Amino acid sequence: MKKIAVFASGNGSNFQAIIDVVQSGELSADISLLVCDKPDAYAVERANTAKIPSFVFQAKEYGSKEAFEQAILAELKRFDVDFIVLAGYMRLIGPTLLSAYQGRIVNIHPSLLPAFPGKDAIGQALAAKADWSGVTIHYVDEGMDTGPIIIQERVRLDENETRDSLQSKIQKIEHKLYPEILQMLFTQGDVINVTKARAN
C-alpha cells in the first residue's frame, strides 16, 4: 500500500475526498502526512479530525525555497512517503522535491490545461467568457501546471455561470476523478493520457 503525503494550502475539499475514499476502502493508500503552508488553513483541521499527522510551515520563516523544501523532505522521509498528491497547494514545487520524487508527484487543476494555468483558474475562465472549462490531473514538473497530462474532464459554462456555480461543478468532478486516478496510479504504476485511452 502506497504511503502518500497530501499538500494543501486552503479549504482542503479534495483532501477530504481522498480521506473519505481511503476510509471507505475505495482507495488503497495510507495518508501518512498533510503538508500545509498556511497554519490557519481548514485543511489542517481536516487532518486533525482524521488523526493524520501534519507538517505546517510558513515560507517566510525560511531563507529560501530550498530551505523549506529540505524541511518538507525530512518529514516525507520520516514518514516513509512514497507519493506526493497536490490538492490545492499554491506553491510551485522546486528542484529539491522534484528530484527526490521524480514521477511521483501529481496535481489536480480546475481547468483544461494548458488553458488557465496558475492561480484562480475559475476566475480566469469566467473573465475569458470561455464556453468550456474542466478538470486536469497531471504529473508535476518544474513549470506552472505544465507537466504531462493524465486525464481531463470537461465542464460547459452556462450563459449565467457564476464563480460559485462553476466551482461547484468542477469540485463535483474533482472529488470523484482524483481518487479514481490515484487508485489507477497506485495499482497500475505509471499512467498517462487516460483521456485519450478512454476515447478510443
Domain ranges of the chain: 2-199
Do 72 and 90 contact (CB within 8 A), yes or no? no
Catalytic-role residue among 104, 109, 138, 169: 109
Order of strands across the sheet that contains 132-139:
54-56, 29-36, 2-8, 83-86, 105-109, 132-139, 149-156
Q: Are strands 54-56 and 29-36 parallel, antiparallel or unpaired?
A: parallel
- Residue with the bigger pLDDT between 188 and 90: it is 90
Euclidean distance between CA atoms 120 and 50, whole angstroms: 28
pLDDT digits (tens, 9 = 90+) for 120-165: 999 999 999 999 999 999 999 999 999 999 999 999 999 999 999 9
Neighbours of 159 (CB within 10 A): 5
Grid coordinates standing for 133? 472549462
Distance of CA 145 to the CA centre of its chain: 11
Which range (35-39, 155-159, 193-197) has the least confidence?
Answer: 193-197
**Cell 529540505, residue?**
70
Whole-number pLDDT of residue 187? 85
At residue 197 the predicted structure's pLDDT band, cuts being 50, 70 and 90, is very low
Euclidean distance between CA atoms 8 and 85, whole angstroms: 9
Non-local (6+) Cβ contacts of 90 within 8 A are 9, 10, 37, 119
| pTM over 0.85, yes/no | yes
Q: Which CATH architecture has domain 2-199?
A: 3-Layer(aba) Sandwich (3.40)
Task: Answer yes or no: 109 catalytic.
Answer: yes
